[in-house]
Amino acid sequence: MKKIRIPENILEKIAEKEMIEKNVLSGKISEGRVVVPLNRKRQGLEKPCAIGEGLSVKVNANIGGSPDISDPAAELEKLRTSVKYGTDTVMDLTIGKYWKRILSAVVRESPVPVGTVPVYGAVCLGGSVADLKSDDFIEVISTQAEMGVDFMTVHAGVTRSVSKIYDKSKRVGGMVSRGGKIIYRWMKENNMENPLYERFDEILDIASQYNITISLGDGLRPGCLADASDDAQYGELRVLGELSRRCRQAGVQVMIEGPGHVPLNLIEENVRMEKELCGGAPFYVLGPLTTDIGAGYDHITGAIGGAFAAWKGADFLCYLTPAEHLHLPDNEDVAMGVIASKIAAHSGDVAKKIPGALERNEKMSKARRDLDWELMQRNAMAPAAVERERKRYPERKDRACTMCGEYCALLD
Amino acid sequence: MKKIRIPENILEKIAEKEMIEKNVLSGKISEGRVVVPLNRKRQGLEKPCAIGEGLSVKVNANIGGSPDISDPAAELEKLRTSVKYGTDTVMDLTIGKYWKRILSAVVRESPVPVGTVPVYGAVCLGGSVADLKSDDFIEVISTQAEMGVDFMTVHAGVTRSVSKIYDKSKRVGGMVSRGGKIIYRWMKENNMENPLYERFDEILDIASQYNITISLGDGLRPGCLADASDDAQYGELRVLGELSRRCRQAGVQVMIEGPGHVPLNLIEENVRMEKELCGGAPFYVLGPLTTDIGAGYDHITGAIGGAFAAWKGADFLCYLTPAEHLHLPDNEDVAMGVIASKIAAHSGDVAKKIPGALERNEKMSKARRDLDWELMQRNAMAPAAVERERKRYPERKDRACTMCGEYCALLD
């Protein structure tokens, strides 16, 4: 088993921030229960972070252009917005024009770890998905590794045998993962095995060389409540379990991506299955969304499931924005998505009694009891929002707000 | 034990909507596990609803002016907005100018049950809280009953003995219930027992006469995570348990109000305690908020706790708006609050497999799989939002959205 090496100064910085002992942190990294996404080539990572067991739950913001909307300046604006509101990482998911220009700029400017989905880079090479060569998928991983990308989603779990389970499943929502579906289509049209699975050792070599954290993608995550926890989903999760063991053997950091749409009563099972099948690897969930009907407000449905998942052991929440299921998020959607996910992550931290979490709430509550608005603003999850609202509705002379006025329960 | 009588046509309407047998519904009403807020004097209640065990979880929207901001037209606008977005009930919490005018108009216009907090009406009589007479509190209940109010929050649990527990408790957040604090101040300044407790039989007589549902207020609900589940909160809940038995004896419908700020890991305990101590009476929670630091986004912190509480047995969610802790909500805040709470309630319904809940999600998911935007819009929790976003970002010719474009996983 090869050893994972993280620079000492980074470990110290993280241990201090998480309020845990440095050797406890190192131990968990060695066991694969914690990852620190950090490409050896990466410059300017001012805010490194660790993701996993016993640590505060982290949040990722997806940015990047789409085939229809691609504007490098707009994506950099989203990067700044997501960092301003406290995202722990960003993923540049650009497909389409300017993808390399956007990714280079994001890696250069981002103070937080940057992730990608290399399959998206592959389809940007041009031509149809079916015409891509097996080498193209590996080549893009190499290129993005050299560009300094810290973590990459690898959809290696959509194998031929897993696809057969999916084909037989009578899913209501079908396959909703963009990366998973690209690989699935490629396999069908070329009648070949998933190149990311077949050539996983080559991917491990690259990941090991650059210290890239592999995020094993869930191409078969449920896209609606009715498909949650089905055979296709858990069949893929078993493959991800095997691949996670190979990552650990190769000294490559690994985390596992998870759903998706899951009713509240199945979220705990999802977390337990992931931890059991993948040797305690960090669990990186998208939501989960606890209902399918929240379009326009899926940052809220995602925050509900994310909070509960975080409490039960999910380590990393991919944000959802109000634009989910509707369109590419704009800058305002990005802000809302980060804030909602941060609230969810923090609700999990509080329930798990992560060091420092309750203390922050107590500071806020004392400020509230004392009607000290400056201090409330400073301790809020999103001080900018509190500032904005205070300007719209200034507090009264007695420092009560316009809700209860002179009958404020906190005036003594 | 006096019998509760609900008109047959109302029972039929509700049973059909909830997809349960009418006699099951009647049985639960008799046992006090379900309430149907409906004043005998009430006219125009187009959308009656039942709240309690085995039924879909309901949502309440608080409207009403404050001592600083009181505009009858604006409050009626909030009523219409909250109904448009699907609130099941409204409470008019006006304190200050025009309170009677606002309440009359709300009762006249509202198609959903209307609730009040009569203590607020009492302080509107003028003068200082301490100068109110014990009779004033009872008088207001009588007046509002005659006006057609369907349910009333009665803060009868803040008794002298419970106040002593509170005085000794070293709460971080103090007492945050406006109604509870008014009663507490009155008791201290007059050195008398809580008139709502002492004269509870008179209140029961009025409630019985008009068939008003009593909502036993939680003056000592925790206002921050640190105070959740403390002796003061549960001490009051025990008194509410006694009072709920007296309601049932008197043939008066009763529900119990609950917190407030509660970390995820204590929500289930809160629901269990309420059901145990109060004979299975419907539980009406405010949030719960799963963190104290969400100011500006407390509709989200409330939706997180509300969804989990709903799953675990809470029956009725009082909405929180983005304005919570900051100012009186405006019309836009009301819309956001209702939508967030509806998503939370529905997430609970789905997890509990309430009749019809999963089916609605399945319809939405099939529409999504088929990229049928008309049908998605129709099945969404908030069709207006979906319509608005579709106008901003029309779908492509192939009906994919601008998120993935031609790489949409749902294009086959």
| DSSP symbols for A106-128 | HHHH-SS-EEE-HHHHHHTTSS-
Q: Which of B351, B367, B396 is the last residue of a domain?
A: B351
Tens digit of each residue's pLDDT (9 = 90 or more) over A82-102: 999 999 999 999 998 899 999
Residues of B in contact with A291 (CB under 8 A): 343, 346-347, 350, 361, 381
Is residue B188 in some structural domain? Answer: yes
Let me know whether B332 and B373 are in one domain.
no
Residue A158 has φ and ψ, to the nearest 5°, of -85, 75
For chain B, say whether A93 makes contact (Cβ under 8 Å). no
Let me know whether B211 and B70 are in one domain.
yes
Q: Which amino acid would we find at residue A89?
A: T
Query: What span, in angstroms and rounded, lies between the C-alpha atoms of A215 and A115?
Result: 9
Tens digit of each residue's pLDDT (9 = 90 or more) over A373-390: 999 999 999 999 999 999
Query: What span, in angstroms and rounded, lies between the C-alpha atoms of A233 and A166?
Result: 8
Let me know whether A106 and A154 are in one domain.
yes
Tens digit of each residue's pLDDT (9 = 90 or more) over B172-231: 999 999 999 999 999 999 999 999 999 999 999 999 999 999 999 999 999 999 999 999
Whether the ω angle into residue A173 lies within 30 degrees of 0, i.e. cis, is no
Residue B376 has what pLDDT?
Answer: 97
Residues of A in contact with B176 (CB under 8 A): 409-410
Residue A15 has what pLDDT?
Answer: 98
Tens digit of each residue's pLDDT (9 = 90 or more) over B236-248: 999 999 999 999 9
Cβ contact A342:A59 at 8 Å: yes
- Are A381 and B293 an interchain contact pair (Cβ–Cβ within 8 Å)? yes
**pTM > 0.95:** yes
pLDDT band (50, 70, 90) for residue B354: very high
Residue B412 has what pLDDT?
Answer: 79
Let me know whether A345 and A386 are in one domain.
no
Residues A227-256, mean pLDDT to the nearest whole number: 97
Please determine, for residue A192, whether its predicted confidence score (pLDDT) is greater than 90.
yes
Distance from CA of A92 to the nearest CA of B (A): 13
Q: Which of B316, B331, B351 is the last residue of a domain?
A: B351
Q: Which of A263, A352, A365 sits opposite B350 (nearest CB)?
A: A263
Let me know whether B254 and B380 are in one domain.
no
Query: What span, in angstroms and rounded, lies between the C-alpha atoms of A246 and A300?
Result: 36
- The nearest alpha carbon in chain B to A298 belongs to B343
Cβ contact A275:A312 at 8 Å: no
Q: Mapping DSSP to helix (H, G, I), strand (E, B) and coil, where does residue A103 land?
A: helix
For chain B, say whether A74 makes contact (Cβ under 8 Å). no
- Are A402 and B327 an interchain contact pair (Cβ–Cβ within 8 Å)? yes
Residue B251 has φ and ψ, to the nearest 5°, of 70, 30
For chain B, say whether A68 makes contact (Cβ under 8 Å). yes
Percent of the residues in chain B that have a pLDDT greater than 90, as a whole number = 97
Distance from CA of B4 to the nearest CA of A (A): 35
Tens digit of each residue's pLDDT (9 = 90 or more) over B388-400: 999 999 999 999 9
Let me know whether A343 and A369 are in one domain.
no
**Which tokens sit at A314?**
């999910």
Is residue A8 in some structural domain? Answer: no
Let me know whether B125 and B260 are in one domain.
yes
**Which tokens sit at A153?**
């989603």
Please determine, for residue A290, whether its predicted confidence score (pLDDT) is greater than 80.
yes
Cβ contact A117:A152 at 8 Å: yes
User: 3-class secondary structure for B256-286?
Assistant: EEECCECCHHHHHHHHHHHHHHCCCCCEEEE
**Which tokens sit at B126?**
């003028």
Is residue A9 in some structural domain? Answer: no
Distance from CA of B381 to the nearest CA of A (A): 5
Tens digit of each residue's pLDDT (9 = 90 or more) over B85-118: 999 999 999 998 899 999 999 999 999 999 999 9
User: DSSP string spanning A136-168?
Assistant: HHHHHHHHHHHHT--EEEE-TT--HHHHHHHHH
- Are A365 and B323 an interchain contact pair (Cβ–Cβ within 8 Å)? no
Residue B171 has what pLDDT?
Answer: 96
Is residue B15 in some structural domain? Answer: no
Is residue A75 in some structural domain? Answer: yes
Q: What angle do CA B192, B226, A388 make, to 5 degrees?
A: 100
Residues B141-155, mean pLDDT to the nearest whole number: 98
Cβ contact B297:B340 at 8 Å: no
Structural domain total, chain A: 2
Residue A201 has what pLDDT?
Answer: 98
Residue B153 has what pLDDT?
Answer: 98
Tens digit of each residue's pLDDT (9 = 90 or more) over A294-318: 999 999 999 999 999 999 999 999 9
Its domain, for residue B378, covers: 357-407
Distance from CA of B6 to the nearest CA of A (A): 33
Q: Mapping DSSP to helix (H, G, I), strand (E, B) and coil, where does residue B249 land?
A: helix
Q: Which amino acid would we find at residue B180?
A: G
- Are A327 and B303 an interchain contact pair (Cβ–Cβ within 8 Å)? no
User: DSSP string spanning A328-362?
Assistant: ---HHHHHHHHHHHHHHHHHHHHHHT-TTHHHHHH
Is residue A221 in some structural domain? Answer: yes
pLDDT band (50, 70, 90) for residue A227: very high
Let me know whether A323 and A371 are in one domain.
no
Let me know whether B345 and B369 are in one domain.
no
Let me know whether A347 and A390 are in one domain.
no
Please determine, for residue B375, whether its predicted confidence score (pLDDT) is greater than 80.
yes
Q: Which of A265, A366, A392 sits opposite B172 (nearest CB)?
A: A366
- Are A326 and B364 an interchain contact pair (Cβ–Cβ within 8 Å)? no
Is residue A15 in some structural domain? Answer: no
Residue from B361, B375, B395, B406 whose CB has the most chain A CBs within 10 Å, to mutate: B361
Query: What span, in angstroms and rounded, lies between the C-alpha atoms of A338 and A303?
Result: 10
Question: Which CATH number is A331's domain given?
Answer: 3.20.20.540
Please determine, for residue A1, whether its predicted confidence score (pLDDT) is greater than 90.
no
Average per-residue pLDDT for chain A = 96
Average per-residue pLDDT for chain B = 96
- Are A380 and B96 an interchain contact pair (Cβ–Cβ within 8 Å)? no
Distances (CA, A) of A62 to A38, A47, A83: 18, 17, 12
Tens digit of each residue's pLDDT (9 = 90 or more) over A33-80: 999 999 999 999 999 999 999 999 999 999 999 999 989 999 999 999
Residues of B in contact with A388 (CB under 8 A): 296
Distances (CA, A) of B33 to A333, A342, B56, B125, B266: 41, 37, 13, 35, 23
| A281-310 residues touching B, CB cutoff 8 A | 290-297, 299-301, 303-305, 307-308
**Choice among A308-312, B127-131, B359-363 with the minimum mean pLDDT:** B127-131
Q: Which of B223, B226, B297 sits opposite A385 (nearest CB)?
A: B297
Tens digit of each residue's pLDDT (9 = 90 or more) over B26-69: 999 999 999 999 999 999 999 999 999 999 999 999 999 999 99
Residue A194 has what pLDDT?
Answer: 98
pLDDT band (50, 70, 90) for residue B1: confident
- Are A362 and B323 an interchain contact pair (Cβ–Cβ within 8 Å)? no
Query: What span, in angstroms and rounded, lies between the C-alpha atoms of B273 and B271?
Result: 6
For chain B, say whether A105 makes contact (Cβ under 8 Å). no
Complex ipTM = 0.97
Let me know whether A252 and A379 are in one domain.
no
Angle between helices B178-190 and B160-168 (to 10 degrees): 100
Residues B354-368, mean pLDDT to the nearest whole number: 96
Distance from CA of B8 to the nearest CA of A (A): 33
Is residue B13 in some structural domain? Answer: no
Q: What angle do CA A91, B386, A182 make, to 5 degrees?
A: 40
pLDDT band (50, 70, 90) for residue A2: confident
**Alpha-helix residue ranges (DSSP H) falling in B169-290:** 178-190, 195-198, 200-210, 231-249, 264-277
Let me know whether A231 and A376 are in one domain.
no
Q: Mapping DSSP to helix (H, G, I), strand (E, B) and coil, where does residue A91 land?
A: strand
For chain A, say whether B160 makes contact (Cβ under 8 Å). no
